[in-house]
Chain A
């Protein structure tokens, strides 16, 4: 339990640092970001939103207040999820833009990443178990090669060959244009269909890392005495692979899950951009090119928090799977 309290304390600290980095970033960079933002609003629009300039100044700097006063206002606004108005989606507040786009991203990266983990772990396990077999000598190098290519390239390849040439998948947006989002069968099936190609891209880009990681750990696990013992007991080969070697070998890759998740969130930006998928990654790219700094800053905060939450979930899972942690 003490271990858990320590982790929790660390995450609170990490969120605070992430917020502070976010606060300092626009202030440390040269230039005057707030002027760039206000350019996009007319004076009537500014007048219609009292307090908007103060919010922007707290987020981006450039006001006449001391940096400490700004910092306090900044933390207060964030605690109330008040990130101001998104200039590129005027008059929608930033929090509403994120609320609309985040579910798509969580779905995409959640499903894609968990599938890539499951597939990668299974392939890595089998490759190590049958050294020099088909999986080890063909599938593993193939994944290694695919993993070397940038995520945007895999997405473009998928778009061109599977979407455009073969016509197997829709290539843009999250659902068909003539459907209104809601809990209808038409929407859910359309959204599922449109998410397939982006998810395949994410799997292709990230499964390779798990394959190599799992294979390496598994090779070392196989020579442990309890594996030899399980063989000697006469257990079936498959059972020794999954229940004895595999179950123990999965812990180190699981520990790396959180760190790789942070990089997969980056890959999401490319995948969503290429497929014009309306998640936070695509929104971030659009916001940045349109000088909508309040939106971009808020997305960075939200993504950092998402990574930390994923870390927390992994810790709980680790706690359940690893008796050494539970008993210490």
Chain B
């Protein structure tokens, strides 16, 4: 089932060579050139790159401090003066979205990175060590998959008094590592009987050395894909918790802006802008990440590429293949 997994890729086997490739005049790493050649991942990379750029230059393009309020300018629909309108308190929604991108993206990336590190160490160790270690980690992973993550996070963050960025990233990562560990374990299993692992083993290398020195470097593209996956799930989960009022409500982020829109029931009053713009920013970022994954998937599994093939022709190819075999 490995080829069905969006993260089951190894770009080294798909024609991407190490080192640099040419893309027009610019020299870029081989894997990037490969992803840029696929229309889906190209679009995804552009979207995510754009969002990161916005987050980086946020202080330059925000027209006001995100929490500045002005009751005289409250509840204004989008206009040239307030591009995304204003909130109930008269804060500028555009500034909130732009500045909020920083916290949202950073928290998502942090949670994704912690979860990926945990999952990579546990999943790959389980696959390589086998036996009782594998049993224990595998059962633990599967048990964690049966506890619904959002309710668990809701209850866990309810006990937290201070919900800083690092704390929230860690809590989210601790809940999300399990399903990533399952994916990486499956992929490490298919790698563990390769010659280079057997060679290292017969040379007397220790388990940690083989896991960190042999398996992990060879799975780096798969680990990166798994990171993209958890990154976007963490983005959604974090915004969701903030939306329920379970984040750092004094901070500026996409989820917090939607939370205040909901608390002030702006939707019921017909004000769509305070919730639509931050949610769109979140959704478009997630879409970008999903497209990157879909592109990776197509690069590694050519069958998935969309092409118009008539039924007759497909059958002809199919039977020709059988005849030749």
Contacts and interface: CB of A to CB of B under 8 A. Distances in A.
Interface of A: 10, 13-14, 17-18, 21, 25-26, 29-31, 33, 131-132, 136-137, 144-145, 147-153, 156-157, 159-160, 164, 171, 213, 216-217, 219-220, 223, 225, 228, 231, 237, 252, 258-259, 262-263, 265-267, 269-270, 273-274, 281, 284-285, 288-289, 291, 293, 296-297, 299-300, 303-304, 307-308, 311
Interface string B222-261: 0000000000100010011001111000000000001000
Nearest to B178: A259
A31 B159 contact: yes
B140 to A, nearest CB: 8
A152 B258 contact: yes
B158 A148 contact: no
A265 B142 contact: no
B146 interface: yes
Contacts of A17: 143
Given A269-B244, A284-B154, A311-B146, A150 B279 contact: yes
A160 B1 CA distance: 41
B275 A156 contact: yes
Given A150-B240, A159-B267, A25 B155 contact: yes
Nearest to B159: A29
Given A17-B143, A304-B146, A152 B4 contact: no
A285 B143 contact: no
Interface centre among A265, A269, A296 (most CB of B within 10 A): A269
Contact of B244 (A14, A132, A270): A270
Interface string B150-167: 111011101111000000
A269 B308 contact: no
Contacts, number: 170
Contacts of A263: 148-150
B282 A150 contact: yes
Interface centre among B239, B279, B294 (most CB of A within 10 A): B279
A262 B267 contact: no
10 contacts: A31-B161, A33-B159, A144-B290, A156-B267, A258-B145, A263-B148, A269-B150, A284-B154, A288-B155, A307-B148
A150 B150 CA distance: 13
The 6 closest A-B CB pairs, nearest first, are: A266-B150, A29-B159, A149-B283, A153-B279, A132-B308, A148-B287
B88 to A, nearest CB: 16
Given A14-B146, A266-B240, A281-B151, 20 more contacts: A14-B142, A25-B159, A29-B156, A29-B160, A33-B159, A131-B309, A132-B309, A148-B290, A150-B236, A150-B243, A151-B240, A152-B239, A152-B258, A153-B283, A160-B270, A220-B4, A228-B318, A252-B1, A262-B145, A269-B150
Contact of B145 (A150, A220, A259, A289): A259
A304 B144 CA distance: 10
Interface stretch (B13-21, B63-71, B196-204, B299-307): B299-307
Contacts of A265: 148, 150-151
A66 B12 CA distance: 56
A45 B243 CA distance: 33
Contacts of B324: none
Interface string B19-45: 000000000000000000000000000
A303 B148 CA distance: 7
Contacts of B262: 156, 274
A99 B159 CA distance: 25
A145 B287 contact: yes
B279 A270 contact: no
Nearest to A285: B244
A279 B277 CA distance: 29
B193 interface: no
Given A219-B303, A223-B318, A285-B154, A18 B147 contact: yes
Given A156-B275, A225-B322, A284 B240 contact: no
A266 B244 CA distance: 12
A74 to B, nearest CB: 15
B50 interface: no
Nearest to A20: B143
A18 to B, nearest CB: 5
A47 B175 CA distance: 39
A307 B151 CA distance: 12
Given A18-B143, A149-B286, A296 B4 contact: no
Given A285-B154, A300-B151, A307-B146, A152 B243 contact: yes
B142 A10 contact: yes
Contacts of B139: 10, 13
B151 A269 contact: yes
B272 interface: yes
Contacts of A293: 158-159
Contacts of B152: 21, 300
A244 to B, nearest CB: 14
Contacts of A217: 4
Nearest to B288: A148
B315 interface: yes
Interface centre among B154, B161, B232 (most CB of A within 10 A): B154
Nearest to B162: A30
